[in-house]
Copies of this chain bind each other. A is one copy, B any other.
Amino acid sequence: SGSCLLRDSQVRVMENMVTNAEKYFGQFCSLLAAYTRKMARLRDKADQLVKQLIDFANTENPELQATLRNFAEDLAKVQDYRQAEVERLEIKVVNPLKFYGAQIKQTRAEIKKFKHIQNNEMKQLEKLEKLRQKSPSDRRMIVQAETSVQRASVDASRTTRQLEETIVGFQEQKLKDLQKIFSDFVTIEMVFHAKAVEVYSSAFQTLENYDLEQDLEDFRAKMHGVYGHYSARPFTDTNTSSSVPWALTSQNTQSTIQSQRKEEDAGEDDSMEEDMVEDLRGQGQGQGL
Write the residues of chain A forming the contact surface with B, with a CB cutoff of 8 angstroms: 1-6, 9-10, 13-14, 16-17, 20-21, 24, 27-28, 31-32, 34-35, 38-39, 41-42, 45-46, 48-49, 52-53, 55-56, 59, 64, 68, 71, 78, 121-122, 125-126, 128-129, 132-133, 146, 149-150, 153-154, 156-157, 160-161, 164, 167-168, 171-172, 175-176, 178-179, 182-183, 186-187, 189-190, 193-194, 196-197, 200-201, 203-204, 207-208, 210, 212, 215-216, 219-220, 223-224, 227, 230-231, 233-241, 243-244, 246-250, 252-253, 256-257, 260, 266, 269-270, 273, 277, 280-281, 283-286, 289
Contact = CB atoms under 8 A, between A and B. Distances in A.
25 contacts: A1-B247, A2-B273, A5-B243, A6-B230, A9-B273, A14-B284, A20-B59, A20-B286, A24-B52, A31-B48, A64-B175, A122-B246, A125-B246, A126-B246, A129-B248, A129-B249, A129-B253, A153-B260, A161-B231, A164-B223, A175-B212, A186-B207, A189-B200, A190-B197, A190-B200
Given A24-B56, A167-B280, 11 more contacts: A2-B235, A2-B240, A2-B266, A3-B233, A13-B285, A20-B284, A35-B42, A35-B46, A41-B41, A71-B186, A160-B230
A227 to B, nearest CB: 5
Contacts of A161: 227, 231
Contact of A13 (B149, B224, B277): B277
Contacts of A269: 2
The binding surface of chain A is classed by DSSP as: helix
- How many copies of this protein are present in the complex? 2
B3 A249 contact: no
Given A49-B35, A227-B164, A244-B4, A207 B179 contact: yes
Nearest to A226: B6
A112 to B, nearest CB: 18
Contacts of A132: 249, 252
B4 A235 contact: yes
A217 B231 CA distance: 90
